[in-house]
Amino acid sequence: MECLNKLEFVFIKKTSTSQIREIMGIYRDAGWLKKQDTPDLFRKMLKKSFLYLICVKKTNCYFAAE
């Protein structure tokens, strides 16, 4: 079996709740998140941004006959 890991860059305008949580986690880990920051604040921030780029790790695995 061979697995290829790829990064995909995606510009987003609308986000799901899980994406908001993940983005907030990145901000928290970097020390950029304040106690008063909420998911709604991040939604507004993304909505007001001209472009917002996220990077998604894609894993494609397939079986090859030998």
Task: Dump pLDDT digits (tens) for 10-66.
Answer: 888 777 888 888 888 888 999 998 888 999 988 888 888 888 888 877 766 555 444
Number of domain units in the chain? 1
* Nearest CA among 47, 49, 61 for reference residue 6: 61
Q: Where are the alpha helices (DSSP H) in 1-66?
A: 17-30, 39-48
Fill in the DSSP letter of residue 9: E
Kindly report the pTM of this predicted structure.
0.63
- Neighbour tally for 19: CB within 10 Å: 16
Domain around 20: 2-62
